[in-house]
Amino acid sequence: MCRFVAYQGHPVVIADLLYRPRHSLVHQSHHSEEFSLTFNADGFGVGFYVGADPTPCVMRATGPAWSNRSLASLSEKLFSERIFAHVRAASPGLAVQATNCHPFWHDRFMFMHNGGIEGFRKAKRRLQNALSDAAWELIEGSTDSEHAFALFMDEIGGAAARPTTGELRAALVRTLARLREIVAAAGASDAMACNFAVTDGRSTVVTRYAHAINREPASLYYSAGSMYVCVDEDGDMRPPEGPRHGAVIVASEPLTRNTEDWQPVPANHSVAIAPDGSLALEPIEI
């Protein structure tokens, strides 16, 4: 499994998510607290949009995030309004290589996954057969996550799609539904833990979802307010003013110790952030 963080709002320096707060994503990479495996050392990735450029900039590499000095230096200097970052704990047997690191991306879209699809190995060929040529050709690595991303690209209608927030969410929920159908049709276990995050550079949707497993979905929290400010080790989310948020963080674990800033996402719910910063929490019904 893995840990991730998604940010949407006023420009923040990447380090305010990855390094500075007490329980930053890089801290989670070696001291995860809400997951049976405490470390996520099998590669990492960070993707973000620069100015008005509609397609993201993505850095992915193998090795632990905590010792990568290029990541530290870039994070310290670069600002963005839309940031995805991920630290990976590889599923057994899956290669540690950059093409297996998240976020996956294509054109305007970025995608990341925390969890696992139990029947993946058995259903993998059927999953590929279910893809359009365009989506199939996106697959470069060997993870269940990237296969889910390819399914999503089909559900959203391909790279040319310009979805509303609702359409983005609907495509992500259909991706979950199709995943279940396909693994079941393959005679594989349909147990899965699928915290997915997707963005088209305007909206962001994150799911906290599990099916047929005997525990809660992987942990997921959000923090929303007018502004996110990180001073020294203490990140602070300023209270919201009205329904639109200047800053929304969705993260596998709270980044800061201000626990009142963080709301758990209920099991089998999605968080959707519209371009204007309004936020919707909805149950996932499949």
Per CB under 8 A, does 41 bind a copy of itself? yes
d(CA 192, CA 213): 7
Go through 36-73 and write b for each residue having 16 or more CB atoms within 10 A of its CB, e for each that does not: eeebbbbbbbbbbbeeeeebbebbbbbebbbebeebbe
Burial 176-208 (b: 16+ CB within 10 A, else e): bebbbebbeebebbbbbbbbbbbbbbbbbbbbb
Taking the C-alpha atoms of residue 106 and residue 158, their distance in angstroms, rounded to an integer, is 9
- Give the dihedral sign, CA 178/194/207/109: negative
User: Other CB atoms closer than 10 Å to residue 214's CB: what's the count?
Assistant: 6
Q: Considering beta carbons, is residue 137 or 276 the nearer one to a copy of itself?
A: 137
Residue 108 CA to residue 110 CA, distance in Å, equals: 7
Task: Report the nearest approach of a copy of itself to the CB of residue 65 (Å).
Answer: 11
User: Is 59 among the residues that bind a copy of itself (CB under 8 A)?
Assistant: yes
38 binds a copy of itself (CB under 8 A): yes
> Rounded to whole angstroms, how far apart are CA atoms 10 and 178?
35
Least separation in angstroms between residue 260's CB and a copy of itself is 30
Residue 2 appears among annotated catalytic residues: yes
Which window, 137-145, 181-189, 223-231, 273-281, contacts a copy of itself (CB under 8 A)? 137-145
Contact pick of 2, 25, 87, 90 for a copy of itself (by CB under 8 A): 90
Q: Is 241 a residue that touches a copy of itself (CB under 8 A)?
A: no
276 binds a copy of itself (CB under 8 A): no
**Stretch of residues binding a copy of itself (CB under 8 A), selected from 106-114, 131-139, 173-181, 221-229:** 131-139
Q: Taking the CA of residue 257 as centre, how many other CA atoms within 13 Å lie in the half-sphere pointing to its CB?
A: 7
Stretch that binds a copy of itself, among 16-24, 93-101, 159-167, 200-208 (CB under 8 A): 93-101
Of 49-57, 106-114, 206-214, 217-225, which segment contacts a copy of itself by CB under 8 A?
A: 49-57
**Residue 78 or 191 with smaller CB distance to a copy of itself:** 78
Which residues sit opposite 2 in a β-bridge? 88
Note whether 20 and 26 are within 8 A (CB): no
Query: Does 161 participate in binding a copy of itself (rule CB under 8 A)?
Result: no
Provide, rounded to whole angstroms, the least separation between the CB of residue 195 and a copy of itself.
22
Q: Give the span between the Cα atoms of 173 and 277, in whole angstroms.
A: 21
Instruction: Name the residue nearer to a copy of itself (CB basis): 185 or 286.
Output: 185
Integer Cα distance of 237 and 261 in angstroms: 6
Q: How far is the CB of 74 from a copy of itself (least distance, A)?
A: 6
Q: Which of 10, 34, 81, 97 binds a copy of itself (CB under 8 A)?
A: 97
Residues that bind a copy of itself (CB under 8 A): 30, 38-39, 41-42, 50, 53, 56-64, 67, 69-70, 73-74, 76-78, 90, 95-99, 124-125, 128, 133, 136-137, 140, 142
